[in-house]
């Protein structure tokens, strides 16, 4: 951001009072750095088999907060582009974001969103409310609308722990459409190509008041069902020891479940599936 225009010194814009939004600051002074605003030439559309896409992510509320998880596969058309992609990221101490869609743009958007939240807190001296965080991500998606219409869409899933919410509802889930439409979901939700199957699994497995282990197993079962019917979603890869990413947010903040824990739960689930391939039935 310093560049050579000021002889290595910070420009005047850094010392002029203005917005607490980092993206608005970039838009005003260095718009070329905003990858979400770049538009392809007229008439050009990204080919789906030339750009890596991330697939299934999901979230569910549980007793202590909210859980968010994602498979690890990225695809380019009918090819597997990456087997160990990380689609779940902390946004700040009590917020996390996962994504489906165009991988390169999604990773840039996640990094920009992380800076956006940190910048606001440094300028204002307080953290943004969870509702404001959800709206801010919606605004960033609207900036990407031109590219989304050209085949480079990003669909995030946002979760957070809201200490100001009534007890039992502090783990909150927000979904979006490609135009930045914002929707709060109750209980659970999934996005990506395998989301219909993941939501179907969660519909039968979810119940209020689940503990951490129950919630993690429900998420893994839902991702397994998604992978079973959607070729773009990757299930647990036992031979390569590549397992879904599962993270939680509680009053204590963001925590990614340790890989040994995720591996043990995944192996337990796969072992159970050997005798019941369709997975567990709904709890009475």
d(CA 137, CA 82): 26
H/E segment holding residue 120 = helix 103-124
> Could you tell me the CA-to-CA distances from 150 to 27, 92, 139 in Å, in that order?
21, 31, 19
Question: Among this protein's residues, is 55 annotated catalytic?
Answer: yes
Catalytic residue, chosen from 2, 16, 36, 55, is 55
Spacing of C-alpha 36 from chain mean position: 16
CB 198 within 8 A of CB 190: yes
d(CA 233, CA 95): 24
CB 44 within 8 A of CB 150: yes
d(CA 166, CA 129): 15
Phi/psi of residue 135, each to 5°?
Answer: -70, -35
d(CA 194, CA 53): 12
d(CA 155, CA 212): 26
Secondary structure in 3-state letters for 218-278:
HHHHHHHHHHHHCCCCCCCECCCCECCEEEEEECCEEEECCHHHHHHHHHHHHHHHCCCCC
d(CA 149, CA 138): 16
**Any idea which residues carry the catalytic annotation?**
55
């Amino acid at each position: 951001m310093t560049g050579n225009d000021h002889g290595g010194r910070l420009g005047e814009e850094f010392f002029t009072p203005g917005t607490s939004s980092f993206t608005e600051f970039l838009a005003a002074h260095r718009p070329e750095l905003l990858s979400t605003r770049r538009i392809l030439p007229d008439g050009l559309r990204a080919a789906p088999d030339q750009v890596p896409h991330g697939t299934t992510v999901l979230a569910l509320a549980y007793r202590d907060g909210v859980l968010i998880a994602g498979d690890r596969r990225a695809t380019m058309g009918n090819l597997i582009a990456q087997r160990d992609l990380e689609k779940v990221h902390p946004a700040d101490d009590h917020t996390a974001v996962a994504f489906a869609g165009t991988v390169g743009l999604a990773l840039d958007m996640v990094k920009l969103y992380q800076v956006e939240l940190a910048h606001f807190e440094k300028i204002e001296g307080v953290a943004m409310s969870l509702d404001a965080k959800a709206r801010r991500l919606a605004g960033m998606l609207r900036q990407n609308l031109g590219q989304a219409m050209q085949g480079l869409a990003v669909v995030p899933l946002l979760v957070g722990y809201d200490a100001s919410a009534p007890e039992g509802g502090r783990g909150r889930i927000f979904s979006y459409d490609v135009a930045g439409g914002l929707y709060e979901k109750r209980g659970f939700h999934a996005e990506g190509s395998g989301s219909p199957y993941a939501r179907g699994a969660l519909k039968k497995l979810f119940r209020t008041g689940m503990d951490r282990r129950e919630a993690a197993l429900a998420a893994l079962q839902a991702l397994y069902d998604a992978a079973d019917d959607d070729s773009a979603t990757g299930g647990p890869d036992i031979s390569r020891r590549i397992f879904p990413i599962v993270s939680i947010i509680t009053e204590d903040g963001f925590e990614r479940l340790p890989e040994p824990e995720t591996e043990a739960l995944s192996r337990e689930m796969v072992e159970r599936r050997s005798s019941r391939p369709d997975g567990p039935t709904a709890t009475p």
